[in-house]
Amino acid sequence: MEFESEEAAKIFYDDYARQVGFVMRVMSCRRSERDGRIIARRLGCNKEGYRVNKRDKSGAIRKPKPVTREGCKAMIYLKNSKSGKWVVAKFEREHNHPLVVSPREARHTTDEKDRKIQELTLELRNKRRLCAAYKEQLTAFLKIIEEHTDQISMKVQNVMNNLKEYECVHQELQRAGDVSI
């Protein structure tokens, strides 16, 4: 089989996986040493391989998660031909585990994922609007505080000027000997 693009091959294999009853996973790719572009891609069953037991910081093995990898060999290997098309170089059909009857049981469909992404995007957009409104309110509040601070500073300066003026008048009156204040 040939595909016009790598993406077309992925879509085809993903549709095939859903029909058969397994979940497709992008496994690996091979890149050109000259320009770094992808020249081969392996797609397969999500139950390919085995999970490695991970250790925590103290060296103890973490509580094992449910088994999701079963060493399945089902996969498709695609190569980018000189013509630019993607050609199936190898196809392994057999799975070593039971296949899921309904694709919905296999995983969330793209539609469900898209809906969740849309929900989260909308929520993020609303939160950003709310943050922008809060920022606007805070900016307005800070401007009011700044204006009040300036007014208070001017009043304090006026009081200080009046006190200096009063002290000058008071000193002149003291020198003149007319201190009744």
pLDDT of 65-87, one tens digit each?
766 777 888 899 999 988 989 99
Q: Residue 165: pLDDT above 90?
A: yes
Q: Kind and range of the H or E element at 78?
A: strand 75-80
Last residue in a domain, options 105, 128, 152: 105
Q: Do 87 and 12 fall into the same domain?
A: yes
Q: Do 62 and 137 fall into the same domain?
A: no
Q: Do 167 and 121 fall into the same domain?
A: yes
Q: Do 17 and 58 fall into the same domain?
A: yes
What does the pLDDT read at residue 56? Answer: 61
- Summarised one tens digit per residue, pLDDT across range 108-159 is 555 677 788 888 888 998 999 999 999 999 999 999 999 999 999 999 999 9
Q: Quick one: average pLDDT of 156-171? A: 93
Q: Do 95 and 22 fall into the same domain?
A: yes
Quote the CA–CA distance of 29 and 36 in Å, as a whole number: 11
Q: Do 121 and 139 fall into the same domain?
A: yes
- Summarised one tens digit per residue, pLDDT across range 11-28 is 999 888 888 888 888 888
Quote the CA–CA distance of 171 and 181 in Å, as a whole number: 11
Burial class (CB in 10 A: 0-12, 13-18, 19+), 97: middle
| pTM, full prediction | 0.49
What does the pLDDT read at residue 153? Answer: 95
Q: Do 96 and 122 fall into the same domain?
A: no
Q: Do 95 and 162 fall into the same domain?
A: no
What does the pLDDT read at residue 110? Answer: 58
Q: In this predicted model, which residue has the larger pLDDT, 176 or 41?
A: 41
Q: Do 8 and 96 fall into the same domain?
A: yes
- Number of structural domains the chain divides into: 2
Q: Do 88 and 119 fall into the same domain?
A: no
Q: Do 17 and 61 fall into the same domain?
A: yes
- Residues contacting residue 27 through CB under 8 Å, at least 6 positions apart: 42, 43, 44, 48, 75
In single-letter form, the type of residue at position 64 comes to P
Q: Residue 181: pLDDT above 60?
A: no
Residue 151 domain boundaries: 108-180
